[in-house]
Structure 1
């Protein structure tokens, strides 16, 4: 993948056509690296995503659902103050760099018209989103402040003058002619793709390799024609956005890449292409960062339980000797008259043996015959008690691991809002220490499952943690609704909220059950479905644990595109 200067150019062109003249009706900040601007233009609401994520920095229109914090961060509040109610005047790229300027005209506190510029710098781990006053050139604030201690050459802080990213002193590829292009390259030095990247701004290694791939080796004129063909398409904004997938390695470009091989999928717009490529990536990465310590702790507990189960089972194997001790004790008791203190062994007839063979019983010479017999009975009783205790501990450890595995799956599939409920459950179950929390007056009293609409317009609900699973299955669902869950695989409860529905709705619900499970990346995932009235929660069991009967099983392979379309059909509000 490569959000290069040409992708930036295509995005700028699309946004200029779609958003110019539109009104900014709402500003959100879903995370510490992302902004979401709702812009209404020509009777349609558009969602503009701007991300300064170190790995997934980008700008594009999106249709993917997002979770926004109940309390907006300070930068979001500042943007609302300056941008909401304003009109998008201009969207432009800075040369061929990965920098976008979005000018929005609004009114200040005194009612005077003013222009604010939102600058999106897409530069890997140095990416940033900066609000500036273009008249004064000063920074109003940034989603990522950069002080003198971070960079001596360029500070991004309220009140400082805005300094663009340092120039790379490369040539603009859209302005280069034949002679200049040929003279720019050293054909004897090799690695022409690398040379093109070093000499021309906005050109990524991916596009440079494609240009080289399409030109016959060593033919300078053919290389120029190929290069100039791409540049002409860029000048005229003739783009063919595409995703490519080669042996599991995915990427995107504004034109199909033929040198990568593999599957190519084309899109009508660059935003649609980027929206599909980044679907869920940044959110999962953000969740992973926030939960890595928790995940590590839970995995450690699972490993401890696995070792504990192994030790307990080994002790159970040793406990097989319990019956032998009981036989020794009873035979010795019935032959006490043949044994005296000081004997090291007793030879008795084993009447438990069908053939009545002689059995040699080892003795402690310091004990009396009766005491030796009692010693065997004590060993027998101790091992019998150990068997019961070990079996109970094995069962408990296996149940703990099954529950912990389900929590790990939920953490992987969780949204920011779900994390708090998962942490609360871990605290209630004693796996985490209780943490003081700020009281939020708008906090919901009950965990709310995710709701979507099937292609047939039927509501499907998904519990994304155990509290939501419990509430969905045992409180919200009706007895005649259909309940789904991956067969013997940790995952979410899914409920179709209807008595009757087409086969397509069942398949879509099964797809969601497979997607929100540990088997998300597997093929032919078994999904059980039955009526809610056949799903029971055993007394005293943990949240989310159920037993069910009269189920049928179908097999589905999770399809990210289908899931994405379903998740877009969430009810508003």
Structure 2
């Protein structure tokens, strides 16, 4: 990656600096007549350094770290990028100007170390920290303090050897001592810097396959030219080694392109979980409350099934009133509705026989009246649960840019109370995602309910075609054509299946019909429409096709 970035960015100038997410900063560097967004991520799970083409949105108020980077690095020249031996630290060397116009050498260091990952801006001559993306005080780390103004102390050095400076005799000894590939891989990982276990396994296999095994070690390391996503033990991983074709899922022109593809969904999902935590909590809380309510209503409805028993007991008491004595706590009477089978009826001594009969009739009337109310409440609650499950599904499929629409919808429906400033601002619904079918026909996709309503009811022409996964939460998809080809219909159906809760299924039913047949009932929730006269296609979601068609 360092070689790739040096080749592309060396001698470039920093044009813009942004921090779209708490642990990630993007420097837009102008080099070779192009702008390259360089991502430095100190994310605890997805820490990395790469050129990214993924879209991002800046927060309305820049962070203190962003402001400090802008002060020192905007307009600075990138001299070189270097890795500290083969460790997980990369230093970007810049030269800028101070207030007096004198040259100011700076280092922007990224440490890729899991939850300890960090991005640190350092004054090179004074070896002082200007600022860090994550502040680490002495109470968190006694070895070194990562705070503005502190002396910069490098991360503790591992007791490992740089593999690019390896002693071949030592490699030979390891090969002789540990012939088993997995044990050898573990020893290589323990001995040399910067080796993941899969990389160590690859090296072990490579060495065993060559006659002069130890001398093959530098050749194996020099083979770091193949940006690939591979499938290892049923899990996707990425590598720069040349794995057998049978294991390769996808190959890329550069490591940056590979990382964009590999982390796009993972990082987006994680960002959505972080940024949408409040929305997710609101939906989960309301979903849990409505599910409990529905369970209680079902129990009450089951209890109303006894209503007929109360009516029959009331009628039997009325018929045989002359046999009932006020001193009785129970009486057994023949049930003429069931072949005169005896029925035991509980009585209250505080009531007259006639009042006991009336008590059963009142219970019967109360339960019968309750049925209509419970069924109505049950219907509303089921609709509420379906709506919230739909929102939950949309968040699972959302990108960070979709969250403001979902937040606005939750506020509009009364689930969420926005801050006064946000309430006063009129929310502008984001544009639907755009795709282009193989024959050039445009396809639009709503990523949430507000987008779905706007797309299906306002943007789409009456003669356009509408698609939606059958009986499951999903996006509204519009084909902007009155006579789409069969190929376009199938492609649009695959898009609809992909942007739905059935994304992982193999055979997904997708309904399609012309927009003019859609209808939104008065007072219906956002995104809810009814239709009839649809046809159905069965497709398998295809992520590779989706990427190809996306505009």
The alignment's TM-score, normalised by the length of structure 2, stands at 0.87
Name the CA distance, whole Å, in 2 between partners of 1:502 and 1:108.
63
| Aligned equivalent of 2:124 | 134
Gaps of 5+ in 1: 1-10
Aligned counterpart for 2:427 among listed residues 442, 445, 469: 445
| Aligned equivalent of 1:541 | 524
Conserved 8 A contact 1:467-1:544: yes
| Aligned equivalent of 1:403 | 387
Q: What's the CA shift for 1:339?
A: 4.8
Name the CA distance, whole Å, in 2 between partners of 1:75 and 1:247.
41
Map 1:81-160 → 2, pairs under 5 A = 81-109=71-99, 112-160=102-150
Q: What's the CA shift for 1:406?
A: 1.2
Cα distance change on mapping 1:122 and 1:547 into 2, 3 Å = same
Name the CA distance, whole Å, in 2 between partners of 1:509 and 1:436.
39
| Aligned equivalent of 1:375 | 359
Aligned counterpart for 2:3 among listed residues 13, 34, 39: 13
Q: What's the CA shift for 1:369?
A: 4.7
Q: What's the CA shift for 1:66?
A: 2.4
Map 1:324-363 → 2, pairs under 5 A = 324-330=309-315, 333=318, 335=319, 339=323, 341-342=325-326, 345=331, 350=336, 362=345
Q: What's the CA shift for 1:405?
A: 0.7
Name the CA distance, whole Å, in 2 between partners of 1:312 and 1:177.
75
| Aligned equivalent of 1:418 | 402
| Aligned equivalent of 1:283 | 268
State whether structure 2 residue 209 is matched by structure 1 residue 209.
no
Aligned counterpart for 1:244 among listed residues 227, 230, 240: 230
Shifted more, 171-180 versus 192-201: the winner is 171-180
Conserved 8 A contact 2:321-2:354: no
C-alpha deviations, 1:65-90, integer Å up to 9, x for none?
Answer: 22332333232233233333344332
| Aligned equivalent of 1:522 | 505
Q: What's the CA shift for 1:377?
A: 1.8
State whether structure 2 residue 239 is matched by structure 1 residue 253.
yes
Aligned counterpart for 2:496 among listed residues 501, 509, 513: 513
Name the CA distance, whole Å, in 2 between partners of 1:148 and 1:526.
58
Q: What's the CA shift for 1:122?
A: 1.3
| Aligned equivalent of 1:317 | 302
| Aligned equivalent of 2:171 | 181
Map 1:261-272 → 2, pairs under 5 A = 262-272=247-257
Cα distance change on mapping 1:459 and 1:349 into 2, 3 Å = closer
Name the CA distance, whole Å, in 2 between partners of 1:537 and 1:429.
17
Gaps of 5+ in 2: none
Instruction: State the SS of the aligned residue for 1:14.
Output: helix
Name the CA distance, whole Å, in 1 between partners of 2:487 and 2:64.
45
Q: What's the CA shift for 1:58?
A: 0.9
| Aligned equivalent of 2:378 | 394
Taking CA–CA contacts closer than 8 Å with sequence separation of 6 or more, which of the two structures ends up with the larger relative contact order?
1
Instruction: State the SS of the aligned residue for 2:510.
Output: strand
The alignment's TM-score, normalised by the length of structure 1, stands at 0.84
Aligned residues: 545
Q: What's the CA shift for 1:125?
A: 1.3
**How large is the Cα RMSD of the aligned pairs?**
3.3
